[in-house]
Amino acid sequence: MTLFLETLIGGLLAGTMYSLVAIGFVLIYKASGVFNFAQGSILLFSALLFVTLLEAGIPFALALIPTIAAIAIMAVLIEWWVLRPLTNRSAMTLFMATLGLSYVVEGVAQGAMGANVHALDIGIPDLPIFVGDLLISQFDLVAAITAIALVAILALIFDRTRIGISLRAVADDTRAALSVGINLNRIWQIVWTVAGITGLVAGLLWGARQGVQFSLSLVVLKALPVLIIGGFTSIFGAIIGGLIVGASENLAEAYIGPYIGGGITSWFAYFLALLFLFIRPTGIFGERTIQRV
């Protein structure tokens, strides 16, 4: 039972990381209808830039400023060069464009900053602690708390600020939002920046654990099943989806893995998502609509 609980909690905590990445997707998807495959590369880029700055001797807090600035600049460029010229094109075309974008960002990031693994110490010890009689990773705990804090901040932004309200308007009805004078291009730039920052947070947490390296960009692949389960348009769904994927993946690896050779986390989430799709083809939080003809 203890093992089960520990596995479950470990999975849930790891799942918050998926949630964090998935939130970035949801933001972008809501605002611009793009399934942003480049989210992983942007995460890699920003984490890599941050580590490089740290290694150059710049203090932690100070290094955040140019990193966030770089994310904002990247968002603006993406909006200019990719999103704007592809307005009104199919979602699939946009997706493929972000696939190309991910190659550009990765190529530039690794070309400019190298492909080495960088150790990153953000001051959280990666030692397990006992909570009651359960052994829990302290690091995961901090990561989860950070994720929760970030979500709370995002929720505040969306509820209280003008930008947030405009964003919700765009997500609800793009045409109506345009007609009341909301600048869609500006919204896109802001949203891509915010999504980039959530990516940075996830990238730093993850990078601190396993080193900042290319494989960070692969978290994007976990986001798809998370979004399928949680729905593409719900931040709450992304969180739940992340937790479900994290927990079930961990449990499956612990209980099924040993019988079939292990390493099943590479595909387990996808089969889980497929299962969900068969039961509810539009995700838990997605709405069923009938195509108009």
Partner 1 sequence: MTDTTLTLDRNISQPIVVRERKSGQYWLWLLLAGAYLALPTFGNEYWLNAIVVPFLILSLAGIGLNILTGYAGQTSLGSGGFMAVGAFATYAFLLHLQLTFPIALFLGGLIAALVGFLFGLPSAKIKGFYLMVTSLAAQFFLEWLFLKVPWFYNYSSSATISAPRLDTFGINLNNSLGKYYLVLTVVAVLTWVALNLVRSQTGRNWMAVRDMDTAAAVAGIRINHSKILAFAISSFYLGVAGALWTFAYLGSAGVQSFGLSRSFQILFIIIIGGLGSISGCFIGAAFISLLPLALDVIAQTLFAGRVDAGLLQNIQKAIFGALIIWFLIKEPDGMARLISSWRSRLSIWPLRF
Ligand X SMILES: Nc1ncnc2c1ncn2[C@@H]1O[C@H](COP(=O)(O)OP(=O)(O)O)[C@@H](O)[C@H]1O
Residues that bind ligand X (CB under 6 A): 290, 292
DSSP one-letter code for 119: -
Nearer to ligand X, 260 or 290 (CB): 290
Q: Is 108 in the site for partner 1 (CB under 8 A)?
A: yes
Q: Closest approach of Cβ 158 to partner 1, in Å?
A: 23
Closest CA to 23 of 214, 186, 174, 232: 232
Q: Using CA atoms, how far apart are residues 249 and 282, in angstroms rounded to an integer?
A: 22
Dihedral pair phi/psi, residue 231, rounded to 5°: 95, 145
Stretch that binds partner 1, among 48-56, 58-66, 102-110, 163-171 (CB under 8 A): 102-110
Closest CA to 71 of 203, 263, 214: 203
158 binds, among ligand X, partner 1, none (CB under 5 to 8 A by kind): none
Q: Which residues of 3-13 are buried (b: 16+ CB within 10 A; e: fewer)?
A: eeebbbbbbbb
For the record, the structure tokens of 290 come out as 């009938």
Q: Using CA atoms, how far apart are residues 52 and 95, in angstroms rounded to an integer?
A: 30
Q: Is 102 in the site for partner 1 (CB under 8 A)?
A: yes
The angle subtended at Cα 52 by Cα 59 and Cα 68, nearest 5°, is: 70
Site string for partner 1, 111-140 (x = CB under 8 A): x--xx-------------------------
Nearer to partner 1, 125 or 281 (CB): 281
Q: Closest approach of Cβ 92 to partner 1, in Å?
A: 6
Q: Using CA atoms, how far apart are residues 276 and 193, in angstroms rounded to an integer?
A: 31
Where are the strands (E) in 41-162, listed by range?
A: 128-131, 134-137
Instruction: Say how many residues touch partner 1, by CB under 8 A.
Output: 47
Q: Is 96 in the site for partner 1 (CB under 8 A)?
A: yes
Q: Which of 4, 80, 103, 255 binds partner 1 (CB under 8 A)?
A: 103
Q: Closest approach of Cβ 103 to partner 1, in Å?
A: 3
Q: Is 225 in the site for partner 1 (CB under 8 A)?
A: yes
Q: Using CA atoms, how far apart are residues 29 and 124, in angstroms rounded to an integer?
A: 32
Site string for partner 1, 269-288 (x = CB under 8 A): -xx-xx--xx--x-------
Q: Is 80 in the site for partner 1 (CB under 8 A)?
A: no
Q: Is 255 in the site for partner 1 (CB under 8 A)?
A: no
Q: Tokens 């094109």 sit at which residue?
A: 89
Residues that bind partner 1 (CB under 8 A): 35, 81-82, 85-86, 89, 91-93, 95-97, 99-108, 110-111, 114-115, 221, 224-225, 228, 232, 260-264, 266-267, 270-271, 273-274, 277-278, 281, 291, 293
